[in-house]
């Protein structure tokens, strides 16, 4: 049976504000600071380039995973309260 | 679509044989081709890759018909999502744009990744919970009435047709290389195959089966890069190993500059930011791609539609993770290609000993040496001798590769067996043909054919109607692709940027703001989409009046305005005839460089269109009465 669109356990789903702020920080601050970060090296890669090429993308996945986990737990807690 | 435990179990049970069948067919094809290549039939085997690519796409289309495959696990849904975000266009073009533009090319990969996250955070869970089967379905339920239907149809069609153009162009380039025919022939062949796959799958077929393609794409990019990394640096993890290549490349490029084998004006070191894009354009591309991916109608379909929010969240999470896995390979690919070519120059390779790939792509007009297509050795010698500053050895700026084929040529450029090129070509063709289904399907749905009733078997008339629409759209896209007005990356970026400017405000409001009504949504879409069109066309074709009217907002400043006035006076004073025309050309060229508000140009237009779209949506919604009894948004 399909889950009803207005399922009770998720009535209060809100915008994940913290995750969105982190998203904006990673997507916009890192490219802007890329040249300044290039002074530092990590794994023999200049940090600024590495952050734009790979670090930011990995950060997106981490934010996504943490946010999904947090929302799953909150849903489970809500379901438990009822 | 049942989503209870039993359905999911059956889904996995069906996914298994489909996956196995796909893998076995694919392996048999590759083995046959390997044997053919061993026994000396290279031309024949190249055509074979084309056939395998089409067969793989057809297999995916058939697998979509397997009834329970659509209820597969979130990891499989994520694979199809990643394939849908990347499409053949970005898959082929992103390594190339990083190769050509250096650091600034990373904006495209960053934007797609950011889009994956935005989709997961803001759009996917609520869209899934709304119960709509597609974006047009959501709009029809949330904003009833003809205004939204018409405006969204226009925006969706424009965006999806551009995406199809980019995909057909990608398939066309690969077809050129494999079949040895011209670009028009290859593109038309690809367009026919797209249509055949569409008919095979049906307009309402599931996109989830595209997950099979992700495996193919990953293999095709990861395996050659891992082999090169292992051969060059003894570490088969390209994402880490290419750091060595970056440093070596930097050393080689400095050497080339010292020996005057490279022109500093053409040099774009990979590590230096903002050589080809201004920071505004860089951020604009990231925003445009991120917001556009979140609102891309071709993604808001099967694995994300009408499932529980939790399931959509996890599917999108998997999709993002798998997408990032592929995107982080792109800088490695670009670096290795640059390294190989810079080494070629540093070794002062004589023209007669240039590797075979130069001429293989030169014959197709995709590699130019000394400003002429490198068709064969004598043509290259002749072209280089004809240069005004005839040099003894080739210089870095003498070799120019079309960025759109860099990824395809990678295995040959770094010196791997041509089987890897074949594998990559198969991945591009199969993904181009299969991921072209979603844009077509969305346009058919936006036209109102059988919308809202995915469970009901469409009647024969409706099905035939969908084929006719798809044929018309494919024909239009192929015609546009044949014009070749821009590279793959630009066309694909505009497709996503149009979705961002036109659809995102209305989509976000539909899901998150109960007060939004149909008038507001239609006005917001029209404002965002219209702004991009008017601004882009105005800058391109009416630069002089555009600049004259809005010079106060220009990035050119006082000096730009002064020069503009001088040129304008010169034009007004010039005698009618050739002098007047020349003065106009100078005036128009200058106006095009300064006709930008706050330095915004190209895809960065979304930075202005997006706030405008939101503003218009909010104002118009508040000025008109609230819709009643529509509780789709919680």
Q: What is the pLDDT of residues B355-404, one digit of tens each?
A: 989 998 998 889 999 888 888 888 888 888 887 766 677 888 889 999 99
Quote the CA–CA distance of B164 and B631 in Å, as a whole number.
Answer: 35
DSSP string, B496-565: HHHHHHHHHHHHHHHHH-TT--HHHHHHHHHHHHHHHHHHHHHHHH-HHHHHHHHGGGBSSHHHHHHHHH
Q: By the CB < 8 Å criterion, does B114 face chain A?
A: yes
pLDDT at B272: 83
Out of A27, A58, A64, whose CB is closest to B290?
A27
pTM reported for the whole predicted model:
0.89
Chain B positions touching A57 (Cβ under 8 A) are 109-110, 113, 324, 327-328
Return the SS3 of B300. coil
Contact between residue B68 and residue B17 where contact means Cβ atoms under 8 Å apart: no
Residue B186's nearest CA partner among B197, B195, B174, B194 is: B174
Q: By the CB < 8 Å criterion, does B290 face chain A?
A: yes
Residue B21's pLDDT band (boundaries 50, 70, 90)? low
Quote the CA–CA distance of B586 and B564 in Å, as a whole number.
Answer: 10
Contact B239 A64 (CB under 8 A): no
**How much of chain B, in percent, has pLDDT values that exceed 90?**
46
Contact B271 A38 (CB under 8 A): yes
Residue B546's pLDDT band (boundaries 50, 70, 90)? confident
Contact between residue B93 and residue B489 where contact means Cβ atoms under 8 Å apart: yes
- Count of alpha carbons within 13 Å of B462, Cβ hemisphere only? 17
> What spatial distance separates the first Cα and last Cα of chain B, rounded to whole Å?
23
Q: By the CB < 8 Å criterion, does B160 face chain A?
A: no
Chain B positions touching A56 (Cβ under 8 A) are 110, 113-114
Chain B positions touching A48 (Cβ under 8 A) are 271, 273
pLDDT at B612: 96
Q: What is the pLDDT of residues B224-263, one digit of tens each?
A: 999 999 999 999 999 989 988 988 998 999 898 888 888 8
- ipTM comes to 0.87
Mutate to test the interface with B, among A31, A40, A44, A56 (most CBs of B within 10 A): A31
Chain B positions touching A42 (Cβ under 8 A) are none
Contact B129 A75 (CB under 8 A): no
Contact B314 A68 (CB under 8 A): yes
Please check the confidence at residue B3 and state whether its pLDDT lies above 50. no
Contact A60 B310 (CB under 8 A): no
Please check the confidence at residue B5 and state whether its pLDDT lies above 60. no
Expressed in percent and rounded to 5, the helix, strand and coil fractions of chain A are 70, 5, 25
Range in A5-19, A59-73, B620-634 the model is least confident about: A5-19
**Which positions 222-241 of B are in contact with A (Cβ < 8 Å)?**
239-240
Contact B120 A67 (CB under 8 A): yes
Contact A6 B113 (CB under 8 A): no
Residue B449's pLDDT band (boundaries 50, 70, 90)? confident
Mutate to test the interface with B, among A11, A46, A54 (most CBs of B within 10 A): A54
Contact B113 A57 (CB under 8 A): yes
Please check the confidence at residue B96 and state whether its pLDDT lies above 90. yes
Residue B7's pLDDT band (boundaries 50, 70, 90)? very low
Contact A56 B321 (CB under 8 A): no
Residue B391's nearest CA partner among B370, B420, B421 is: B370
Quote the CA–CA distance of A30 and A36 in Å, as a whole number.
Answer: 10
B417 or B207, which is more confident = B417
Residue B155's pLDDT band (boundaries 50, 70, 90)? very high
B474 or B545, which is more confident = B474
Phi, psi of B401 (to 5 degrees): -105, 135
Please check the confidence at residue B582 and state whether its pLDDT lies above 80. yes
**Which positions 34-53 of B are in contact with A (Cβ < 8 Å)?**
none
Q: How far is CA B429 from CA B5, B92, B174, B338, B534, in A?
A: 36, 10, 7, 25, 35
Contact A58 B328 (CB under 8 A): yes
């Amino acid at each position: 049976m399909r889950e009803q669109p207005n399922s009770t356990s998720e009535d209060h789903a809100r915008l994940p504000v913290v995750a969105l702020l982190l998203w904006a920080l990673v997507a916009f601050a890192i490219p802007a600071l890329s040249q300044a970060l290039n002074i530092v090296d990590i794994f023999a890669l200049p940090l600024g380039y590495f952050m734009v090429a790979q670090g930011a993308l990995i950060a997106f996945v981490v934010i996504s995973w943490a946010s999904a986990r947090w929302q799953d737990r909150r849903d489970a807690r809500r379901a438990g309260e009822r | 679509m049942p989503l209870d435990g039993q359905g999911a179990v059956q889904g996995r049970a069906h996914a298994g044989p489909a996956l196995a069948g796909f893998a076995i067919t694919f392996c048999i094809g590759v083995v046959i081709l390997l044997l053919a290549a061993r026994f000396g039939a290279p031309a024949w085997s190249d055509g074979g890759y084309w056939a395998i690519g089409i067969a793989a796409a057809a297999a995916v289309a058939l697998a979509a018909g397997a009834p329970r495959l659509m209820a597969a696990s979130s990891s499989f849904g994520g694979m199809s999502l990643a394939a849908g975000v990347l499409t053949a266009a970005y898959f082929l073009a992103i390594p190339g744009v990083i190769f050509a533009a250096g650091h600034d090319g990373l904006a495209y990969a960053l934007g797609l990744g950011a889009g994956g996250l935005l989709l997961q955070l803001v759009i996917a869970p609520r869209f899934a919970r709304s119960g709509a089967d597609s974006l047009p379905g959501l709009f029809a339920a949330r904003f009833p009435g003809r205004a939204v239907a018409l405006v969204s149809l226009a925006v969706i069609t424009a965006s999806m047709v551009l995406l199809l153009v980019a995909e057909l162009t990608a398939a066309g380039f690969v077809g050129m290389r494999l079949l040895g025919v011209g670009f028009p022939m290859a593109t038309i062949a690809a367009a026919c195959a797209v249509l055949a796959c569409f008919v095979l799958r049906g307009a309402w077929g599931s996109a989830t089966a595209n997950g099979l393609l992700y495996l193919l794409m990953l293999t095709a990019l990861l395996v050659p890069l891992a082999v090169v990394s292992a051969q060059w640096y003894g570490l088969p993890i390209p994402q880490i190993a290419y750091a060595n290549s970056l440093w070596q490349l930097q050393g080689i490029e400095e050497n080339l500059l010292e020996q005057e084998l490279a022109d500093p004006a053409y040099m774009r070191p990979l590590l230096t930011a903002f050589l080809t894009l201004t920071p505004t354009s860089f951020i604009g591309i990231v925003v445009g791609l991120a917001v556009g991916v979140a609102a891309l109608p071709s993604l808001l379909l099967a694995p994300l539609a009408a499932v529980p929010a939790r399931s959509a969240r996890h599917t999108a999470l998997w999709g993002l993770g798998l997408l990032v896995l592929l995107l982080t390979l792109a800088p490695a690919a670009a670096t290795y290609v640059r390294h190989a070519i810079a080494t070629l120059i540093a070794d002062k390779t004589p023209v007669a000993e240039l590797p075979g790939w130069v001429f293989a792509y030169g014959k197709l007009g995709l590699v130019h040496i000394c400003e002429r297509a490198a068709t064969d050795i004598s043509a290259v010698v002749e072209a280089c001798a004809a240069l005004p500053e005839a040099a003894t050895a080739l210089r870095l700026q003498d070799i120019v590769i079309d960025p759109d084929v860099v990824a395809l040529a990678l295995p040959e450029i770094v010196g791997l067996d041509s089987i890897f090129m074949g594998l990559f070509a198969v991945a591009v063709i199969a993904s181009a043909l299969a991921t072209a289904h979603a844009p077509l399907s969305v346009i058919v749905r936006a036209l109102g054919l059988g919308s809202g009733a995915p469970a009901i078997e469409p009647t024969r008339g409706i099905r035939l109607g969908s084929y006719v629409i798809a044929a018309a759209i494919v024909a239009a896209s192929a015609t546009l692709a044949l014009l070749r007005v821009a590279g793959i990356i630009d066309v694909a970026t505009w497709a996503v940027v149009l979705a961002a400017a036109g659809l995102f405000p209305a989509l976000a409001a539909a899901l998150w703001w109960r007060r939004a009504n149909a008038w507001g949504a239609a006005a917001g879409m029209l404002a965002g989409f219209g702004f991009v069109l008017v601004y882009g066309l105005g800058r391109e074709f009416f630069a002089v009046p555009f600049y004259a009217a809005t010079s106060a907002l220009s990035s050119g400043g006082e000096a730009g305005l002064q020069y503009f006035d001088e040129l304008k006076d010169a034009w007004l004073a010039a005698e009618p005839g050739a002098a007047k025309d020349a003065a106009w050309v100078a005036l128009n060229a200058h106006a095009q460089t300064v006709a930008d508000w706050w330095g915004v140009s190209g895809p960065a237009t979304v930075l202005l269109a997006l706030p405008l779209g939101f503003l218009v949506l909010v104002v118009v919604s508040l000025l008109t009465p609230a819709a009643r009894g529509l509780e789709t948004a919680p």
